[in-house]
Amino acid sequence: VTGTDREPAVHRPLAREPRQGDAFGQMLLQAYADGGAESAESEIVERDDGLVVALPGAAYFAPPDSWSPPVRWAVAQARGRVLDVGVGAGRYALEAQRQGCAVTGLDVSAGALDVSGRCGLGRLRQGSVHDVVEVAGDDRYDTVFMLGQNLALLGSPDAAPHVLRMLHRVTAPGGLLIGDSRDPAVQEAHHRDYFRFNRSRGRWPGHFTIRDRYRDLATPWFDYFFCTPDELIGLSAGTGWEQVGVKTRGATYAVVLRRTD
């Protein structure tokens, strides 16, 4: 091989895929070490169309007076035994705990659970919302949180009714499901091509596939599904949940569902 036959290195793609691991948890651990709300760490989110966005890690430590009015309204309705699905650093769980609730944090991320424990959350469970029945065992909850846009952990239009039924199984009669999300119809312009791409592959516009990155780490790809409050009513039909309140601010909304039995 002569020098002229060699492919110029500059044209080569990534030498290898990132290592798979707890990218979000490692980011939170570093943000916590930096002082939480003072940290300059960024959460790096990659979408399957190549979009990469950086979000402030400090937001996961933000105090209640900085939350949007719909989220403050939603968190104030927590009662009894609370399961916070995708607890992160625990900003909402800790507030519910301060309100007198007995809060359990559930997260796939060991690093997130480590941080929420250091921040003062007493009960922690590692696992996915998709395994919530097994993770809960005999425990029943009066309130489930899916906050920080975690209603999107319903995953997809196909998965959402199944996840809602599983959450029904782990709640007590009269239980509440409190979540927040973004209305995909009022998302920023840079999402519009993705909505078209999703329609072209037979998906709902707000059905995202994303992963978190941190340094050379990446989480596995996972589905994160943004739907409107009305679409949520349709998806929750027959799952044992009814919508009893919704508050909107711009593209974001918080919603409260209550068990119908």
Ligand X SMILES: C[S@@+](CC[C@H](N)C(=O)[O-])C[C@H]1O[C@@H](n2cnc3c(N)ncnc32)[C@H](O)[C@@H]1O
* DSSP code at position 190: G
Region of residue 50 (left: phi > 0; alpha: psi -120 to 50; beta: else): left
Q: How far apart are CA 241 and CA 32, in angstroms?
A: 36
Can residue 86 be called a binding residue for ligand X (CB under 6 A)?
yes
The stretch among 88-96, 117-125, 187-195, 227-235 that binds ligand X (CB under 6 A) is 88-96
Can residue 128 be called a binding residue for ligand X (CB under 6 A)?
yes
Task: CB nearer to ligand X: give 84 or 231.
Answer: 84
Smallest separation (angstroms) from ligand X to the CB of 54: 14
Smallest separation (angstroms) from ligand X to the CB of 228: 19
Give start and end residues of each alpha helix (H) in 90-178. Answer: 91-98, 110-118, 132-136, 159-169
- Residues 27 to 56: which contact ligand X by CB under 6 A? none
Smallest separation (angstroms) from ligand X to the CB of 133: 13
Site string for ligand X, 96-115 (x = CB under 6 A): ----------xxxx--x---
Task: Name, in order, each residue with C-beta under 8 angstroms of 72's C-beta and a sequence gap of 6 or more.
Answer: 64
Of 109, 102, 110, 106, which Cα lies nearest the Cα of 167?
106
Q: How far apart are CA 172 and CA 141, in angstroms?
A: 6
- Residues 153 to 172: which contact ligand X by CB under 6 A? 153
Task: CB nearer to ligand X: give 21 or 148.
Answer: 148
Q: How far apart are CA 151 and CA 98, in angstroms?
A: 23
Q: How far apart are CA 120 and CA 137, in angstroms?
A: 24
Task: CB nearer to ligand X: give 153 or 246.
Answer: 153
Can residue 148 be called a binding residue for ligand X (CB under 6 A)?
yes
Can residue 226 be called a binding residue for ligand X (CB under 6 A)?
no
Task: Write down how long the chain is.
Answer: 261
Smallest separation (angstroms) from ligand X to the CB of 179: 10
Can residue 88 be called a binding residue for ligand X (CB under 6 A)?
yes
Can residue 85 be called a binding residue for ligand X (CB under 6 A)?
yes
Can residue 136 be called a binding residue for ligand X (CB under 6 A)?
no
Torsion sign, CA atoms 129, 256, 157, 48: negative
In the complex, the residues that contact ligand X under the rule CB under 6 A are: 24, 60, 85-89, 91-92, 106-109, 112, 128-130, 147-150, 153, 222
